[in-house]
A and B are shown apart, each in its own frame.
Chain A
Amino acid sequence: MGRKPEPGEICLKPLNAFMPQTAGPHRVRNGAYEEQDVTEPVVTENGEGGDATRRDFIHIAAGAAAVGAGAMMVWPLINSMNPAADTLALASIEFDMTKVQEGQQVVITWQGKPVFVRYRTPAEIESARADDRAGLPDSQTDAERVKDGHSQYLVVIASCTHLGCIPTFGTGDYGGWFCPCHGSHYDTSGRIRKGPAPTNLVVPEYDFVSDTRIKIG
């Protein structure tokens, strides 16, 4: 509302805008209130002048406070959609490694996703390390994917990095996993060797809280 009103248009200005302290009929700027009859004591004191009213600091401040209030009201509604305390409490789980036999894997659920916990045989570990230098699509050494002192255990998220199917255990050309959906082959370190998957099976954040217990997440 900062532009000048057209003639005849209802003017926003207070009745006595631009009114000097003189009597007699007034021609108010822009032709507003042309019928103004000064015999009617319309106001008791001078009003604010002209366009300056529109840009007054106080109005900007009040408007800014209104925007702030709006944000303060909207933020808790949006934040309430973030994970709640009970979801966050299950953000990490612990697992007893003695449940896995050598040469076998166990599938557990973490944060709603399946996770492979694989106890590798020495032969499997050997073949994984031997391929460290091979031209891998997603280059990573076996040591980078296991924990020191516990290299026999491999923990990976059981989701093929192509489109998310669960790979089958022990099949495929590299002895690791094979994804039946589109034919991705993973080796005994969970690295992608052949097929459409772009990256290695994801190793989640985990730690050994004791010799036989890991905490994932």
Chain B
Amino acid sequence: MILQTNIRAMKKTLVLITAAIGLSLAAQPALAAGDKPKPRSGGFSFEGPFGTFDQGQLQRGYKVYREVCAACHGMELMYFRTLAERGGPFYESGQASPAENRFVRALAAEAQIADIDTETGEPIMRDGIPADRFPSPYANATAAAAANGGAAPPDLSVMAKARSGGADYIYSLLTGYAEIPEGLQIRPGQYYNAYMPGDLTPFMPDGAKVPPGGFIAMPSVLFEGQVTYDDGTEATVDQVAKDVSAFIAWASDPRQVQRKQAGMGVMIFLFLFAGLTYVSYRRIWKGVAH
């Protein structure tokens, strides 16, 4: 009977703990009908506990960001030297340090950074160095909003963390500019996107089926042949969207792959440690009624 009680108690424990975790994981805000469509999968290589970034994809993604997105979107938390961190797009195994990586030096030098002349104190523009941040297209948030019809293009540094769905969401959004549904009243300066969260009920005629998605202030920016990849990959809209999403996912959390790998080691160690401790525990309690 003790054994039965124990098993019952253990089951109860497990049920309770699972419920607690289930609750905590399920604590997402409720969705009204048609609020947030499930994003399409971009088939990214870095998903899952064993995922890693494809360095080629990150390089292509950086090129897309620099040539297409950086015209409006800043990435103010990114530094050029971060591109050469281990696991990043331009990491080279022989490099002395990320700041001395030759690709990063060249890429940084392409950028013009606002600075102050060391002798006269006048504002100047100078070539970038690896220690510089990515330059922003606008001087400040007000200028950004003013130049974009009142809606400032958000900074992309941590965009994959700032949207549920992460890279899949960004990919879906970029390729989600679909046919405008019949009867949808579009507000000026807004564009319909099937993956943008929103509730279109007020903008459809009464009784009509409300399409998924919402309004976004950014028009569709990707088109065929927009970017020429250095590695020869064909730059279809789909490919470009995937590459830049992967790059943004990397930029949002550059150390995620190293962390997952460390985690594997930690789990293995803990598993062995648990085994040792369990045997020790059983040995100590052996023969002691409890």
Contacts and interface: CB of A to CB of B under 8 A. Distances in A.
B99 interface: yes
Given A88-B97, A89-B79, A89-B99, A47 B131 contact: no
A62 B280 contact: yes
Nearest to B132: A89
Given A48-B283, A53-B283, A58-B276, A85 B289 contact: no
Interface string B223-247: 0000000000000000000000000
Contact of B289 (A15, A62, A66): A15
B73 interface: no
Interface string B85-100: 1000000000001111
A72 B269 contact: yes
B273 A14 contact: no
Contact of A48 (B85, B131, B287): B287
Contacts of A91: 97, 99
Contacts of B289: 15, 42-43
A86 B79 contact: yes
B284 interface: yes
Contact of A65 (B98, B273, B283): B273
Contacts of B60: none
B279 interface: yes
> B interface, how many residues as a size bin?
20 to 34
Interface in A64-103: 65-66, 68-69, 72, 85-86, 88-92
Contacts of A14: 286-288
Interface in A21-45: 42-43, 45
Given A15-B289, A85-B85, A90-B131, A61 B98 contact: no
Contacts of B99: 88-92
Contacts of A65: 272-273, 276-277
B42 interface: no
Contacts of B74: none
A150 interface: no
Given A42-B289, A90-B131, A58 B283 contact: yes
A6 interface: no
Contact of A53 (B97, B131, B270, B284): B284
Contacts of A61: 276, 280
B198 to A, nearest CB: 38
Given A59-B280, A65-B276, A88-B97, 6 more contacts: A15-B288, A15-B289, A65-B277, A85-B82, A86-B79, A89-B79
